[in-house]
Amino acid sequence: MIELQDIWKTYADGTHALRGVSVLIERNEFVYLVGPSGAGKSTFMKLIYREEIPTKGQISVNGFNIGKLKPRKIPYVRRNIGVIFQDYRLLPKLTVYENIAFAMEVIEAPKRIIKKRTMEVLELVGLRGKHASLPQQLSGGEQQRVAIARAIVNNPSVIVADEPTGNLDPETSWGIMNLLEEINFRGTTIVMATHNKEIVNTLRKRVIAIENGTIVRDEARGEYGYEN
Amino acid sequence: MKISTVLRHLREGIKNVVRNGWMTFASVSSIVISLFILGVFLLLALNVNNLADQIESQVQIRVYLQLGTPEAKVNELKNAIGNIPEVKKVVFVSKEQGLKDLRTSIGADGSELLEGYDDTNNPLPDSFTVDVFDPQNIAYAAKKIDAIGSADASKPISSVKYGKGTVETLFRVTNAVRNIGLVVVIGLAVTAMFLISNTIKMTILARRREIGIMKLVGATNNFIRWPFFIEGALIGVMGSVITTVLLLFGYSELVQASQFELGLMMIKLVTLRDAGLTVSAVTLALGTLIGIWGSTLSVRKYLKV
């Protein structure tokens, strides 16, 4: 469960990214975050995985008061949140397998379990045969699948995806969406920022629209609502 | 920390050295170059110091006695001088021995100058040569010997000589040379540290994205830090081992090649064993420290995300 209560975020340069945002996202929801560039979507997501802290207001993820978290505790909260980016952010010198296993090494999981679970998620994202490849040897869609595998390998309760299909062609994008839906179906909350009108209007989910740092629309089975 | 985690960090640190091959190469090279220059100057400074010691140790006090000083008095004086704490050794040089020494040092060309002198008409007085423990104290010891002579009613000491003026100048020069050597070595050490840590910083700068991703998947700062720490130490050790091998090999060649020529000038280089110990200790310690220091410092910077 993610809860934002009257969140304000002002950056050091004076930009007001969020102005009084309150929202409740229940467990196992799938939420699209839409709105023009610079509206505050990324800040919204960064607050969830504690890349940023709110200037004002309270935010809790799975019952943790994220804004008040001691720096020492941040890593442990992040282990329960998987993050996916438009640019994949894989470690270029590690193989597909190593990239995914890394997230489990971090939590000091036993080697045997790491191996089993990593192969499991590789199977799920359909890249079992590519486990020994380096990221640069993969297509964009495949790289994003690796990033998704890494995000889910520790069974997080929340996945935050910042324009996961932003760099992909329509067909590949649908592959990624099917995967995310499958993950959501297995019980993971998904918050996804997107500019993809077709996806939002076809795969209907809750839509939260942000403009100028405030929520202007929040619909259960919403539409994209912008011209691309 | 679990043992498997410790092993993981070790493995990861070693793997990183290989994975970042070019960066490793750059860091190791900069360590080798800086430490090599430092090592060369260190060897130079050791030898200059050694040379200064050699020259200084040749400084002696000559105590000339009055002609006809009785043997009992000679022994008494010898004991008194020997009891001065700064004095290391007192050797009695009889007038006969003195004449012989003089003949030897003048050599064949000047032999006619001393012709006609023999034991019956030897013009030289008996004397002592006095060695002191620390040549820098020579003036002080000479003064004390002079005082012994003045205190004795029979005034048996005619003069005390130690090359006054010359010795002081010599010491000024040797001390200056030593200090310059020290300053150069320290200056080079500091420069080397900055050069190397800068290279390591750059290699880590290139990997701040990597650190960012590690943080994102929930790695603790310590978990991120350890492999870098090990990598830095490894790079430092590699660089300093290469440097040490180069320096020692080069120096042993130099010692061998120059043995004959320098031997003629009565100059002896510091032996490979003596110099090698100092140089390897300094390069290994400095290299490893710099490697660790550079990587730890740079990682800390990017951990504050």
Complex ipTM value: 0.85
Q: What is the pLDDT of residue B305?
A: 52
Per-residue pLDDT of B57-84, as tens digits, reads 778 888 888 887 888 888 888 888 888 8
Integer Cα distance of A194 and A171 in angstroms: 16
The amino acid occupying position A155 is N
CATH number of the CATH domain containing A162: 3.40.50.300
Q: Does B206 score more than 80 pLDDT? A: no
Q: Does B8 score more than 70 pLDDT? A: yes
Q: Which CATH number fits domain B60-162: 3.50.50.60, 3.30.70.3040, 3.40.50.300, 1.10.3720.10?
A: 3.30.70.3040
Contact A106 B20 (CB under 8 A): no
Alpha helices for chain A (secondary structure H)? 41-48, 74-78, 96-105, 111-124, 140-152, 170-185, 197-202
Which chain B residues contact residue A108 at CB under 8 A?
A: 2, 4-5
Q: What is the pLDDT of residue B116?
A: 75
Higher model confidence: residue A50 or residue A227?
Answer: A50
Q: What is the pLDDT of residue A228?
A: 66
Integer Cα distance of B269 and B255 in angstroms: 7
Q: Does A189 score more than 90 pLDDT? A: yes
Mutation target for A interface from B12, B209, B217, B305: give the one with most A CBs within 10 A: B217
Please list, in sequence order, all residues whose beta carbon lies within 8 angstroms of the beta carbon of residue A167, skipping any fewer than 6 positions away. A86, A87, A140, A144
What is the number of domains present in chain A? 1
**Rounded mean pLDDT of chain A?**
93
Higher model confidence: residue B225 or residue A210?
Answer: A210
Q: What is the pLDDT of residue B299?
A: 81
| Closest-approach residue (CA) in chain A for B18 | A93
Pairs across A and B, CB distance < 8 A: 46
Contact B19 A93 (CB under 8 A): yes
Residue A128: pLDDT band with limits 50, 70, 90: very high
Residue pair B218/A107 in contact by the 8 Å Cβ criterion = yes
Q: Does B192 score more than 80 pLDDT? A: no
List % helix, strand, coil for chain B (3-state, nearest 5): 75, 10, 20
Alpha helices for B108-220 (secondary structure H)? 138-151, 166-205, 208-216
Integer Cα distance of B129 and B90 in angstroms: 6
Position A7 in a domain:
no
Position A14 in a domain:
no
Smallest CA–CA distance, residue B9 to chain A, in Å, is 10
Instruction: Supply A148's token pair.
Output: 């998704």
pTM score, whole prediction: 0.71
Task: Please give the DSSP secondary-structure letter assigned to residue A106.
Answer: T
Smallest CA–CA distance, residue B5 to chain A, in Å, is 7
Instruction: Identify the CA nearest to A51 among candidates A33, A34, A30, A67.
Output: A67
Per-residue pLDDT of A54-101, as tens digits, reads 999 999 998 889 888 888 889 999 999 999 999 999 988 899 999 999
Q: What is the mean pLDDT of residues B123-144?
A: 86
Q: What is the mean pLDDT of residues B141-162?
A: 84
Per-residue pLDDT of A129-187, as tens digits, reads 999 999 999 999 999 999 999 999 999 999 999 999 999 999 999 999 999 999 999 99
Q: What is the pLDDT of residue A158?
A: 96
Position A108 in a domain:
yes
Q: Whole-angstrom distance between the N-terminal and C-terminal Cα of chain B?
A: 23
The domain in which residue A139 lies consists of 28-50+80-219
List % helix, strand, coil for chain A (3-state, nearest 5): 35, 25, 35
| Closest-approach residue (CA) in chain B for A80 | B218
Q: Does B107 score more than 90 pLDDT? A: no
Position A212 in a domain:
yes
Per-residue pLDDT of B219-231, as tens digits, reads 998 888 888 889 8
